Amino acid sequence: MTERTLSGIGVTPLSGVGTVVWYRPDADLPEPPAAEDVDAEAELARFEDARAAAEDELEAERERTAERVGEEEAAVFDAHVQFLNDPQITDGVTDAIEGGLPAEHAVQETFSEFVEQFENMGGRMGERADDLRDVRDRLVRVLSDGERVDLSSLPEGSVVVAERLTPSDTAQLDPERVAGFVTVTGGRTSHAAIFARSLALPAIVGVGEELQSVEDGAEVVVDGESGDFVVDPSDERKEAAAAAADVDIRHESVETADGVEIEIAANIGTLADLGPAVDRGADGVGLFRTEFLFLDRESPPDEDEQYEAYVEALESFDGGRVVVRTLDIGGDKPVPYLDLPDEENPFLGERGIRRSLGPDADLFETQVRALLRAAASADGANLSVMLPLVSTVEELRAGRERFESIAADLDAEGVENELPEFGIMVETPAAAFMADQFAPHVDFFSIGTNDLAQYVMAAERGNERVSDLGDYRQPAVLRAIDATVSATEGEDCWVGMCGEMAGDPDLTELLVGLGLDELSMSAVTVPQVKAAVAETDTADARELAERVLQADTKAEVAEILTLDQ
């Protein structure tokens, strides 16, 4: 048969070859009985029993996911429990039951209304519709005594094809058996895409309804980098995909073709992420998102627990740098035991350093004490610490003064400590504009391109309706990056990048040309970026950067980058 190619959004720089296994979990409920034949009291009791059973399942699933995939990904199940107990939803189900519907039909009807509402919102809120579907389907299955499809024991070489994959679905996938997955819906920031990167699975999302024409059992190639889903591939295509899947892991540091060393690090959320980072050849940690140490618990971790976590990260890399970001609470990272404000736009509100210097000052002090002690440990010379969401010189100075003051307190207590390498995240336009004023006060900058693109372009990064605006290839974003790097000229200040842009191998040459010293990313892309660095000549890279910075539109940037490859 002649091969044909369907196009979607590639979400991992990996390729896989396998056989299609369609996953269609949705089962239609039979017509409900007449309202007068429904025992409302009995149905309400069934609903409450189902809720309790579903919550038990979610807690167990959260624990398995945290252990197998990571704490950051597992946190999605906390949101599922919140939906399960949301008064608006439970009241809606109760009203529907009292109106004469059996419990499963009441759940289906009520949740479907909320799913539609969330989908119409678009962006991050639109993506929450999948969470609602997940909770709905779980409740209906429990109420109907249905059996869950076991995605963890698929035949080896399976390529899972589905309308969509919920977090519960994706968390089941076994990378040892599954060669990849492809979905009709979804975007780069969907839960399925995030899980794919964490599991190092080839994946394509957002292919569209044309995907429905692919039959069960078809032989396919999943190119998670280009987004090409090839049905009935030629032998040459399969061989190329298999060769691409055989990734060369480079554990030593990497230099450009002309001898310039570029540090390639991994972003981590919890200690469970350290092993995959080491296995994929990361030189160290470029972003330790410490807020994930504070989630899924009744109270914050104490000083000793944090100290041990930071030391474990340092010990995982032989002389590699570990960059720890202090608490970035707020925005889309709520913490149940903190009194966070109910803000209309939390991304522009009280988050990051604004909370650390304000209402979370005690938490910040405990964290800094742990970090200062870790800096004095056997591997502590490799510790770097950075402050999130800094926008003013006053915030920078106040943050640095807190480190120095707490170090003095520890000295007075006779506690061994050291001041670590000190830096800030550059993720606001203010930080990029003021980088020349910040540079004399720091040892490094780390550019967070996810937030920087969002704030520079005034385009919420999870909103698919403005995803083109929020792309980090927009000229304004690239010029903000260039301004940040240029501000360090003549200063003893290195510049790294820890946003998603850093993990795109197609942009590695450009980032080297812009003058980045370090790139940090999801561990899955480390080998590809290291390979791209090794092939880069810095003179050519600088010339490419100069051309890109002259571009007026994203389309011009894309054209220049395409011609260069």
- Sheet of 4-7, strands arranged across: 4-7, 228-231, 219-223, 15-23, 158-162, 178-183, 203-205, 9-10
Length of the chain equals: 565
175 Cβ contact partners less than 8 Å away, ≥ 6 residues apart: 199, 200, 201
pLDDT digits (tens, 9 = 90+) for 425-434: 999 999 999 9
Banded pLDDT at 204 (limits 50, 70, 90) = very high
Domains of the chain as residue ranges with CATH: 4-25+149-239 (3.50.30.10), 35-143 (1.10.274.10), 259-564 (3.20.20.60)
Banded pLDDT at 124 (limits 50, 70, 90) = low
Residue 563 has pLDDT above 80, yes or no: no
Any bridge partners for residue 330, and if so which? 333
Residue 153 has pLDDT above 90, yes or no: no
Tokens 């000083």 belong to 303
The pair of structure tokens assigned to 333 is: 């990272």
pLDDT digits (tens, 9 = 90+) for 242-281: 877 677 889 999 999 999 999 999 998 888 788 889 989 9
The vertex-33 CA angle with 30 and 35, nearest 5°, equals: 140
The per-residue pLDDT for 474 is 95
Type of residue found at 411: D
The per-residue pLDDT for 47 is 92
Type of residue found at 161: V
Strand runs labelled E in 97-218: 158-162, 178-183, 203-205
Of 518 and 248, the structure prediction assigns the larger pLDDT to: 518
The per-residue pLDDT for 5 is 93
The per-residue pLDDT for 41 is 92
C-beta of residue 11 within 8 angstroms of C-beta of residue 204: yes
Banded pLDDT at 333 (limits 50, 70, 90) = low
Question: Alpha carbon of 97 to those of 112, 160, 223: distances in Å?
Answer: 15, 36, 47
Banded pLDDT at 115 (limits 50, 70, 90) = confident
pLDDT digits (tens, 9 = 90+) for 337-372: 777 666 667 678 788 899 999 999 999 999 999 999
C-beta of residue 429 within 8 angstroms of C-beta of residue 480: yes
Q: Please give the torsion angle defined by the CA atoms of residues 352, 356, 362 and 367, in that order, rounded to the nearest 10 degrees.
A: 70
The per-residue pLDDT for 499 is 81
pLDDT digits (tens, 9 = 90+) for 33-74: 888 888 999 989 999 999 999 998 888 888 777 776 666 677
User: What average pLDDT does the chain have?
Assistant: 89
* Percentage of the chain modeled with pLDDT above 70: 93
356 Cβ contact partners less than 8 Å away, ≥ 6 residues apart: 326, 327, 363, 364, 387, 399
Q: Which of 195, 266, 348 is nearest to 526 (CA)?
A: 266
Residue 527 has pLDDT above 80, yes or no: yes
Residue 334 has pLDDT above 60, yes or no: no
Among 151-155, 203-207, 269-273, 385-389, the range with the most confident prediction by mean pLDDT is 385-389
Mind telling me the catalytic residues? 191, 498
pLDDT digits (tens, 9 = 90+) for 271-318: 878 888 998 999 999 999 998 888 767 789 999 999 999 999 999 998
The per-residue pLDDT for 126 is 63
Of 60 and 22, the structure prediction assigns the larger pLDDT to: 22
Averaged over 163-176, what is the pLDDT?
Answer: 84
C-beta of residue 143 within 8 angstroms of C-beta of residue 46: yes
The SS3 of residue 299 is coil
Q: Which of 336, 318, 247, 264 is nearest to 533 (CA)?
A: 264
Q: Which of 498, 505, 507, 442 is nearest to 473 (CA)?
A: 507
What is the CB-side half-sphere exposure of residue 404 using CA atoms within 13 A? 7
What distance separates the 2 farthest-apart alpha carbons in the chain?
82
Averaged over 518-533, what is the pLDDT?
Answer: 93
The vertex-360 CA angle with 358 and 362, nearest 5°, equals: 110
Residue 123 has pLDDT above 70, yes or no: no
C-beta of residue 77 within 8 angstroms of C-beta of residue 61: yes
Q: Which of 101-105, 284-288, 320-324, 349-353 has the lowest mean pLDDT?
A: 349-353
C-beta of residue 180 within 8 angstroms of C-beta of residue 16: yes
Residue 221 has pLDDT above 60, yes or no: yes
Give the C-alpha separation, 196 to 73, whole Å. Answer: 10
Q: Which of 501, 493, 502 is nearest to 520 (CA)?
A: 502
The per-residue pLDDT for 484 is 98
